[in-house]
Amino acid sequence: MNFELTISPINEIESALELIIVANKNFKHHFVQDKKLLKKVGFLGEQDETCLLVEKDRLYVGVDAINGANVRTAVATAVRGISGTQYKSLKVASYMNNAKCTAVLRAMVEGFILGAYSFDTYKSTKSKRTLKEIIISLEEYHGYELDMEKCAISLNNGQITAEATNFTRDIVNTTPDDCYPAVMAEIAETLAKNNGLTCKVLKPKELKKEKMETLLAVARASRHTPRVIHLSHKPEHPKAIVTLVGKGLTYDSGGLSLKPSDYMVTMKSDKSGGSAVLGIMKAVSEMNLPIEVHGFIGAVENMIGGDAYKPDDVLVAKNGKTIEIRNTDAEGRLVLADVLCYAQQEVQADYIFDFATLTGASVVGVGHYTSSIMGNADLPKDAIITASKSAGEFATKLDFNRYLKKSLKSEIADICNISNTRYGGAITAGQFLEEFIDKEHKEKWAHIDIAGPAFVEHIWGENPHGASGAGVRMMLRFLEKLTKEKK
């Protein structure tokens, strides 16, 4: 999909289709040219409501108010609505809520790309997307005079962000037979080669040498050997150093604590955290952000077999802590424990974030569409929540407390891999991970449980059925803001 910015008024631009956004149900605005027809067909201008007037080659979509979140979902809905048509080009005016801020333009671009996404790798008949060209006029809804250079930067960043999100979606949606740990490592190596990143991949011998015994135990019963991936973006004179850690369970059967069959379906999505780290690293390199960013991924498959790790085992993590295993389906935290330790060993960071589809308890607590943010300090948690709002993602804090932490106590080891209560499972999982954060990073770390939004089996907002690419947009907004704050 190609984008073009122009100073030409919207009525002077030639295209096959025009998209008009009806804001606040304002049908009196001069952009709305078909008031009688819209009334005749019952178009009310509600948020994300669309109406295609084929005879006029105009597509209308409603927003409750002009802001990034509303415009992003409205444009995504509109572009999905013309997926079966023959329109090859589209023109649209600019819609801003501030004369100096171009964030809504970026959201619009993201909406076009995210809404046009489809995953048809395994279908005999492929999707046909005829829309190739989007022309955006700087003629603005309120009459604001817009800065072409600022708008071009927003368009470029929006395009990079959305394409990185779709890149992540593709990895998550790929089946476990086609995307296992070695394949994730190959994806990382190809990304590094194409985008000027450095890449280091640890295989079982190196993992053994690094004493990543909990990760290796999870991987033991799979025919696919594990990998730990380290991607780096290292500009000169970075304004900050940020470490990202992703859970990359390419498939999770639950191990000997086998999942029920209904819960095993969609477990290809358990690599969403690691996939998000890959997508973020792609975008960071393409934006060439002046932040040193390190992405670590624990790529593992959790299967059953004669060599599977077992409930009642006691494992020793990289930092020497012993872990009593009471449930082999609480495996992601075991993988992250070792990778977090390794990441801190390799990099002293200003911030460290981990991304994981870690708990069903997070989905129960905050729903399908929201990420749960946890940690010891408010600064990294609040920064991520602020970034999520500008990115159009939903996130909320879940606070640690000392009473829930007691539920992880083991009588035979330093800690148990699950709590002794069925309640507060998202928080106790986060508190388990806290045991593997060293003193230097205690106040710099936040855990992001993306189990809810990472993979949903229906369309919602700008997101398709399946993988959403959760975490990519919010982290990019955080990193971009960091470039302006750090000296």
Q: Which of 259, 326, 397, 481 is catalytic?
A: 259
Phi first, then psi, for residue 120 (nearest 5°) are -125, 25
Quote the percentage of the chain above a pLDDT of 70. Answer: 100
486 pLDDT higher than 80: no
374 pLDDT higher than 90: yes
Q: Identify the CA nearest to 481 among candidates 400, 380, 348, 399.
A: 380
Structure tokens at 242: 């940020």
How confident is the model at residue 17, as a pLDDT? 98
- At 128-147, the pLDDT tens digits run 888 999 999 999 999 999 99
- At 153-196, the pLDDT tens digits run 999 999 999 999 999 999 999 999 999 999 999 999 999 999 99
Q: Which of 91, 169, 318, 333 is catalytic?
A: 333
**Which SS3 state, helix, strand or coil, does residue 274 take?**
helix
In the chain, what are the domains? 2-146 (3.40.220.10), 174-485 (3.40.630.10)
487 pLDDT higher than 70: no
How confident is the model at residue 129, as a pLDDT? 81
Is 333 among the residues known to form the active site?
Answer: yes
Question: What is the band of 84 on the pLDDT scale with cuts at 50, 70, 90?
Answer: confident
- At 443-468, the pLDDT tens digits run 999 999 999 999 999 999 999 999 99
Q: What is the mean pLDDT of the chain?
A: 97
Is the model's pTM score more than 0.85? yes
- At 22-33, the pLDDT tens digits run 999 999 999 999
Q: Which of 44-53, 92-101, 218-227, 384-393 has the lowest mean pLDDT?
A: 92-101
Q: How far apart are the first and last CA of the chain?
A: 36
Burial environment of residue 350 by CB neighbours within 10 A (0 to 12, 13 to 18, 19 or more): middle
332 pLDDT higher than 70: yes
- At 334-366, the pLDDT tens digits run 999 999 999 999 999 999 999 999 999 999 999
How confident is the model at residue 140, as a pLDDT? 97
Residues 6+ apart with CB under 8 A from 200: 229, 230
Sheet containing strand 351-356, edge to edge, reads 198-202, 227-233, 292-302, 241-252, 351-356, 445-449, 370-375, 394-397
- At 418-438, the pLDDT tens digits run 999 999 999 999 999 999 999
- At 240-289, the pLDDT tens digits run 999 999 999 999 999 999 999 999 999 999 999 999 999 999 999 999 99
Strand partners, 233: 293
Average pLDDT over residues 219-230: 98
Average pLDDT over residues 230-239: 97
State how far the Cα of 396 lies from the Cα of 406, in Å rounded to an integer. 23
State how far the Cα of 192 lies from the Cα of 231, in Å rounded to an integer. 7
**Type of residue numbered 209:** K
Cβ(141)–Cβ(24) below 8 Å: no
